[in-house]
């Protein structure tokens, strides 16, 4: 079908606010605004995820085995849930005691000769030339080092920024499947993609059987690769720490591995795969690729997203040396205190001093609208367009530039052409990049203000998810998108609650920055704009339509099938609700297909019509259409045109 609409039929993942599917993480962000019963359900589900309690039937048990009701879980563990989610002091390691080394030197002086004993077996294969080694008893040697020499001695150091957005306390992705040797970000990719697939409410096998194998695409990456011990982090550190590299660190460290893991271990897909990065805008880069392919008809199903485990000492120190992070010292200066307020470290559009690093994984599942109608998928929104533009010549690779003016204004213009001016000017909101740096608060607010002036928009609501979960690098705009889906569901825009006032240098004439949750039930949102700015000039803006608006559009396109679709959707919603109950009990049912029978290559058959792959309901078929047919003529016609030109004088 021409002009297929890419609709969101599933979403999942994990951030500092919790699990994305069934809006658990969104409910954590607007917890105090929710009705009392829904607050209890949210706290209890997070307590399960954080391994504070387990659920058996309708009964909960604490770590000592005592039976508890949901109300008792809420009463006993609410504060732990609140303290163990969102931005907080780093828990993954001790940020005040990072293992490190100090280089020391000894000069060439007889009075400063260094002498020590050690085991002979620990001698380096090639000892330094300045060492004189003498054998002792019991396998020891005496080493005398003369002349100039250098040594590394253990010397712990302290991070200047100790706040981060981390997965909820007590939630360890590796506990939920056999994760041996997997870097943390790949563990998160498996869990996030599994959550998204389960959230659809339609078995993956049924979806896969409904399309050709090459009509499925996976679009995923990590901007900084896998920098923990099991990936590039361990690879680069091993020899300097006196260790050895492993056979897995290079392949598992590649930034394309999230896509590879989803293909191999979640879906078992042989379809299209694409790993794109655009710094902090990477999620919108993979989203654009998926939207492009679904709109063109090349793909009918797309699983897309990112996973980033960026809370490591090295990455933190690197960003801190760029003066990009909000340091403890500067947070104290902002507040006039001696103790940093880590909970409020990220302060978009307020008085701020830098961004807050975080980790997250977010995945969504797109279908073309025809397949969604056919299968009875529950539609949570649609992404008709994503725009990406660079900055041109830059004075600094990390400085903002003009590209975002293009991407953002094109998104607004596209929205008006699709859903009309009224939906955009009166019923839209913006999920800003909102990184919490002084440069961002002025430049991004100014560009949004200029767009508002151009399209005659007033009182435009602007929110910033990073105030809750921090900056998860490649996954950041995924955090924004799933939050926008939450707004469509609950008709609440999360306030920027970490600031007490909007900074005076922020443009505000046409914009509205709510500092508390904003109820928009009386002015329901039709459109969300997801904006992202990445180092190097990676600017991207996505246009997202609400499920209500999408349903209105599809009811027109599929008038004859729509009632049947609504009946099928009831079944889908019931299945998705069953998974939500299970997942709220932290029974995540992570899909990990390692060890399943492989596709037998001997069973693959190729013909002039296509390729048959064992185990797949449909074949890959070859297209016979020539897209350049208008450029070709018969050989006789070409020769007839050339013959007069070839007559000799």
Measured in degrees and rounded to the nearest 5, phi and psi for residue 151 equal -140, 155
What six digits make up the tokens of 310?
A: 């960026």
The distance of Cα 43 from the centroid of its chain, to the nearest Å, equals 24
- The closest alpha carbon to 483, from 460, 467, 465, belongs to 465
According to DSSP, the residues that pair with 620 across neighbouring strands are 611
The span from the CA of 56 to the CA of 563, in Å, is: 39
Neighbours of 598 (CB within 10 A): 8
Q: What is the largest CA-CA distance in the chain?
A: 106
The distance of Cα 632 from the centroid of its chain, to the nearest Å, equals 46
The span from the CA of 232 to the CA of 473, in Å, is: 17
3-state secondary structure of 107: coil
- The closest alpha carbon to 307, from 223, 364, 194, belongs to 223
CB 226 within 8 A of CB 252: yes
Ordered DSSP codes for 359-376: EEEEEEEEEEHHHHHHHT
Mode of pairing for the β-strands spanning 605-606 and 67-68: unpaired
What six digits make up the tokens of 49?
A: 């995820």
CB 616 within 8 A of CB 270: yes
What six digits make up the tokens of 138?
A: 């019991």
Name, in order, each residue with C-beta under 8 angstroms of 586's C-beta and a sequence gap of 6 or more: 45, 48, 49, 51, 54, 55
3-state secondary structure of 75: helix
The span from the CA of 592 to the CA of 382, in Å, is: 28
**b vs e for 373-390, b when ≥16 Cβ sit within 10 Å of the residue's Cβ?**
bbbbbbbbbbbbbbbbbb
The span from the CA of 202 to the CA of 101, in Å, is: 53
According to DSSP, the residues that pair with 365 across neighbouring strands are 10, 303
- The closest alpha carbon to 188, from 172, 200, 201, belongs to 172
CB 266 within 8 A of CB 326: no
Active site residues: 280, 433, 471
Cα distances (Å, whole numbers) of residue 100 to 240, 553, 589:
11, 59, 39
């Amino acid at each position: 079908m021409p002009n297929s609409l890419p609709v969101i039929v599933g979403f999942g993942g994990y951030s500092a606010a919790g699990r994305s599917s069934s809006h658990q993480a969104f409910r954590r962000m607007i917890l105090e605004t929710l009705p009392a019963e829904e607050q209890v359900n949210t706290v209890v589900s997070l307590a399960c995820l954080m391994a504070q309690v387990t659920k058996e039937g309708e009964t909960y048990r604490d770590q000592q085995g005592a039976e508890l009701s949901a109300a008792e879980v809420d009463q006993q563990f609410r504060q732990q849930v609140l303290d163990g989610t969102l931005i907080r002091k780093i828990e993954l390691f001790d940020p005040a005691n990072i293992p490190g080394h100090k280089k020391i030197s000894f000069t060439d002086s007889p009075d400063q000769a260094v002498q020590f004993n050690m085991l002979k077996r620990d001698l380096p294969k090639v000892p330094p030339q300045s060492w004189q080694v003498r054998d002792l008893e019991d396998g020891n040697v005496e080493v005398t080092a003369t002349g100039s020499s250098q040594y590394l001695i253990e010397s712990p150091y302290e991070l200047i920024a100790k706040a981060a957005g981390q997965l909820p306390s007590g939630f360890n992705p590796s506990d939920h499947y056999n994760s041996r040797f997997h870097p943390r970000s790949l563990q998160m990719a498996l869990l996030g993609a599994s959550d998204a697939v389960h959230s659809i409410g339609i078995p993956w096998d049924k979806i896969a059987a409904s399309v050709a194998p090459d009509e499925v695409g996976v679009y995923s990456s990590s901007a900084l690769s896998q920098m923990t011990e099991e990936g590039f982090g361990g690879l680069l550190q091993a020899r300097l720490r006196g260790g050895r590299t492993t056979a897995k660190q290079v392949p598992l460290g590649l930034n394309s591995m999230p896509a590879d893991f989803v293909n191999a271990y979640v879906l078992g897909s042989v379809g299209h795969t694409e790993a794109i990065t655009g710094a902090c805008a990477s999620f919108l880069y993979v989203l654009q690729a998926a939207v492009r392919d679904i709109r063109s008809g090349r793909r009918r199903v797309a699983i897309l997203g990112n996973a980033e485990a960026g809370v490591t000492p090295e990455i933190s120190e690197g960003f801190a040396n760029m003066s990009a992070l909000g340091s403890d010292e500067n947070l104290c200066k902002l507040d006039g205190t001696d103790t940093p307020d880590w909970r409020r470290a990220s302060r978009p559009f307020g008085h701020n001093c830098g961004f807050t690093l975080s980790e997250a994984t977010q995945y969504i599942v797109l279908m073309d609208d025809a397949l969604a109608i056919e299968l009875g998928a529950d539609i949570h929104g649609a992404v008709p367009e994503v725009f990406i533009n660079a900055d041109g010549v830059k004075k600094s690779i990390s400085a903002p530039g003009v590209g975002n003016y293009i991407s953002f204004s094109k998104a607004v213009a596209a929205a008006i052409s699709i859903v009309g001016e009224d939906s955009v000017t009166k019923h839209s909101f913006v999920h800003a990049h909102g990184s919490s740096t002084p440069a961002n608060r002025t430049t991004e607010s100014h560009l949004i203000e200029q767009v508002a002036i151009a399209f005659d928009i007033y009182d435009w609501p602007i929110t910033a998810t990073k105030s809750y979960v921090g900056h998860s690098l490649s996954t950041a705009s995924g955090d924004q998108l799933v939050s926008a889906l939450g707004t469509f569901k609950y008709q609440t825009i999360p306030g920027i609650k970490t600031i007490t006032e909007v900074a005076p240098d922020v443009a505000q004439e046409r914009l509205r920055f709510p500092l508390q949750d904003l109820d928009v039930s009386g002015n329901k949102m039709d459109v969300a704009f997801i904006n992202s700015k990445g180092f190097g000039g990676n600017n991207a803006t996505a246009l997202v339509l609400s499920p209500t608006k999408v349903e209105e559009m599809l009811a027109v396109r599929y008038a004859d099938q729509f009632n049947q679709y609504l009946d099928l959707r009831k079944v889908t919603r019931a299945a998705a609700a069953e998974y939500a109950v299970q997942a709220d009990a932290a029974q995540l049912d992570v899909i990990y297909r390692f060890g399943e029978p492989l596709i037998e290559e001997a069973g693959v058959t190729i013909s002039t019509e296509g390729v048959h792959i064992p185990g797949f309901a449909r074949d890959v078929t070859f297209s016979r259409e020539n897209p350049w047919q208008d450029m070709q003529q018969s050989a006789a016609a070409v020769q007839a045109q050339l013959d007069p030109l070839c007559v000799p004088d």
